[in-house]
Amino acid sequence: MSNPSKAVCVCARVCVCARVREREREREREREVYDTESSVGKMQQLGDSEPRRSRVLIVGSSGYMGKQLALASLREGHPTFLLLRPEAAARNPNKTQSFLSLRRAGARFLKASLDDFCSLVNTLKKVDVVVSAMAEDQLLEQLKLIKAMKEAGNIKRFLPSEYGMDADKFLDCPPPTGDVFVCKRKIRRSIEDAHIPFTYVSANCLAGWFLSGLGQMGRFMPPEENVMIYGDGNQKVIWVREEDVAAYAIKTIDDDRTTNKTVYIRPQLNILSQNEVVQLWEKIQGRTLKKQFIQEQSWVERLKESMSTEEKYVMGFFHLIFFQGKTYNIDIGEDALEASSIYPDHQYETVEEYLSLLSESSL
Ligand SMILES: NC(=O)c1ccc[n+]([C@@H]2O[C@H](COP(=O)([O-])OP(=O)(O)OC[C@H]3O[C@@H](n4cnc5c(N)ncnc54)[C@H](OP(=O)(O)O)[C@@H]3O)[C@@H](O)[C@H]2O)c1
């Protein structure tokens, strides 16, 4: 029979050793956060015996879409790097928290500034693919990124910050809403001029922005009593969950079919009118909402009268999407690449599933 006190002693030593090893691993992880050169080296060594996955740099990873794109890239097994702007992070605890949660999920930092051309070029040389999710008011900052990518010469795919409606289909959209399309087109043309291989991802209505409030402007949970219906509520709208947008976007980066193409995310089950969405919600909740119909003309008048540019900007999008049906009613051509068709293995979340989850939160 074994000696119990010896067993306890061995056990304690094993625990201490495990704790020491864990602490060492923690320190190593902390060192890597700041030692980006060595982390890239390590990634490359790890990949030597395995099929090499593209190394992906996410720009804007602390943002709404950027975080999802970074997580999707990690899920697909890509060595994933985050462009870290230390000064921006230092001013915002949310950013620090967001960076660290991505770090814990396996992402690495690469320190660089869009305003420091040399550091940016050196950073870009360490990756294969750049996925941008820059904020809407910072879209033209991507021109600096494009210039640096051209200089670096090694980027095999660039996804600019898009994830909305296809900017090339809205040439006549007036400002201020049209301004974002102008910027996105400007970025597209400069990518093409620089001969950087690209994919443009058109994602239509992100669920968190549009579906969560059943299409109510400025509301991100379903209304309790009254719902505003735009026009007759029958225009088809395309609704997509952010995680699905990110998953599809990341799938395009190593897919030759999507080089220099626009990929449209139009999941069949998620093409629903506002009326259909409201009906689904009512079915899930087991009660009826009071409808307030608003006619297009009065929306346009309200838009003209609205005081702030920001409100005009958002109202312009609602006009395009809900009154004119312009997520669905655009000609994308017969040969267009549609994400859920080219990646049928990805199980996207349906509008009904999304609303069912929201319903649980309102019980
Ligand atoms: N279809 C839809 O329903 C919908 C809804 C929302 C957004 N979008 C689109 O999604 C894209 C991303 O928008 P978002 O809402 O996710 O953006 P966001 O959260 O507002 O910001 C994204 C990131 O931009 C980065 N950034 C800002 N200023 C910068 C600078 N000077 N230099 C470098 N980086 C800077 C920041 O990232 P770091 O601090 O990490 O560098 C920030 O976290 C946009 O193209 C937008 O049009 C679509």
pLDDT tens column, 127-149: 999 999 999 999 999 999 999 99
Residue of higher predicted confidence among 86 and 207: 207
Whether 221 contacts 362, CB under 8 Å: yes
Instruction: Calculate mean pLDDT across residues 179-207.
Output: 98
pTM recorded for the entire structure? 0.87
Report pLDDT digits (tens) over 228-252.
999 999 999 999 999 999 999 999 9
Whole-number pLDDT of residue 39: 41
Report d(CA 113, CA 292) in Å as an integer. Answer: 48
Specify the ligand 1 atom closest to the Cα of 165: 1
Q: Tally the C-alpha atoms within 13 A of residue 71's C-alpha that lie toward its C-beta.
A: 17
Hey, which of 71, 98, 132, 138 would you mutate to test ligand 1's pocket, going by the most ligand atoms within 8 Å of its Cβ?
Answer: 138
Specify the ligand 1 atom closest to the Cα of 92: 39
Report d(CA 306, CA 301) in Å as an integer. Answer: 9
Report pLDDT digits (tens) over 283-328.
999 999 999 999 999 999 999 887 899 999 999 999 999 999 999 9
- Which residues have CB under 6 Å of ligand 1? 60-66, 83, 85, 88, 95, 114, 133-136, 138, 141, 161-164, 203, 205-206, 209
Q: What's the farthest any 2 CA atoms get from each other in the chain?
A: 90
Mean pLDDT of the chain: 88
Closest protein CA for atom 15 of ligand 1: 64
Please give the single-letter amino acid code of residue 68.
Answer: Q
The residue ranges of DSSP E strands in the chain, in sequence order, are 56-59, 80-84, 108-111, 129-132, 157-159, 199-202, 205-206, 226-230, 236-240, 261-264, 271-273, 290-294, 337-338
Angle at 342 between CA 336 and CA 345, to 5 degrees: 155
Which residues form the catalytic set? 184
